[in-house]
Amino acid sequence: MFQGILISKDDAAYRATVQAIGEEVLPDGDVTVRIGWSTLNYKDGLAITGRAPVVRRFPMIPGIDFAGTVVDSRHAAWKVGDRVLLNGWGVGETHCGGLAEMARVKGDWLIALPAEFSARQAMAIGTAGYTAMLCVMALEKHGVKPGDGEVLVTGANGGVGSVAIALLSRLGYTVVASTGRMGESAYLTGLGATTVIDRSELSAPGKPLGKERWAGVIDTVGSHTLANACATTRYGGAVAACGLAGGMDFPSSVAPFILRGVTLCGIDSVMAPLAVRQAAWGRLARDLDLAKLDAMTREVALAEAPALAEQLLAGQVRGRLVVRLTGEN
């Protein structure tokens, strides 16, 4: 038996409870991992609360991330004692995930924990930070350079936004942070933002084209915010879209793309190939300031996760939540 969050659903209710779980709940897989640390991302909040149909099988252990130690392996790449991490691959949605002390998964889904990070630090980064790195890499691939002008980060107080600001600042970019919580401006400038704007400047319906401002954008919000970000991106700029906290709709036009040559880059972290994952984590090990990571991280116990999931969806959580399980690093 091991401790974890188990989600169940029947005609009467949708429940997510912290409880003792038997190994028979774990699905098939060729590697078993004792989990030291996990995390809470926006998708985990949706899964735990049932606000969206994230979970596709029941019962389900949520958690799209984990870091821990291999305790059993029938996979050629992994042996007992290896330190590993996992992001995505449907874990916590269709395959039991990381908000428990044990997981059984496909070895092909794992990557080695970078030597530069403890398991706790890797989960302070988590899918949010890994996604932020994918966004930065997309802007770089498109040719957006630090000297090209301001880079906008929306949903700046969240996990993706916080890590994106820290990364961009470390790389020399001029970062503008958009947030609905202007009282957190000192936190955002501490991470490296040079300017903080209220999200209301971008969240209302806008025009197909606005005044050119951004050399690049990392958007976690979607809907009107993404549309307005595209409409105000400079000629030849790029927008990396990775979130939908404001909605899945995209009330825009083709004008920014065909009149200004703006590129909209869709960022998927769930099914990214192994080589892309390894490159992103390698860059995180090189380019993320661990002091800033610590400043944006709050450690919580597993028992706190269900209540925090509600706060996360309500936009009341700053930065990253790292969940202590066995606590092994």
Mind listing the domains of the chain with CATH numbers? 2-113+296-324 (3.90.180.10), 126-266 (3.40.50.720)
List the chain residues with pLDDT less than 70.
Answer: none
Q: CA-CA distance, 80 to 180, in Å (whole number)?
A: 46
Q: What is the pLDDT of residue 12?
A: 81
The count of C-alpha atoms lying within 13 angstroms of the C-alpha of 71, restricted to the half-sphere facing its C-beta, is: 12
Cis geometry, peptide bond prior to residue 208 (ω within 30 degrees of 0): no
pLDDT per residue over 218-241, tens digit each? Answer: 999 999 999 999 999 999 999 999
Q: What is the pLDDT of residue 315?
A: 87
Q: Where are the alpha helices (DSSP H) in the chain?
A: 42-49, 119-142, 159-170, 185-191, 200-203, 223-231, 255-259, 274-287, 290-295, 305-313
Q: What is the pLDDT of residue 118?
A: 97
The count of C-alpha atoms lying within 13 angstroms of the C-alpha of 293, restricted to the half-sphere facing its C-beta, is: 21
pLDDT per residue over 74-85, tens digit each? Answer: 999 999 999 999
Residue 21, amino acid: I
Q: What is the pLDDT of residue 297?
A: 97
Give the containing element (helix H, strand E) for 3. strand 2-9
| 38 bridge partner residues | 323
Q: What size, in residues, is the chain?
A: 329
The dihedrals phi and psi of 310, each to the nearest 5 degrees, come to: -65, -45
User: Is there a contact between 69 and 82 (Cβ–Cβ < 8 Å)?
Assistant: yes
pLDDT per residue over 4-56, tens digit each? Answer: 999 999 888 999 999 999 999 999 999 999 999 999 999 999 999 999 999 99
User: Is there a contact between 154 and 225 (Cβ–Cβ < 8 Å)?
Assistant: yes
Q: Cβ atoms within 10 A of the Cβ of 65, count?
A: 31
Token match 């990392």: residue? 218
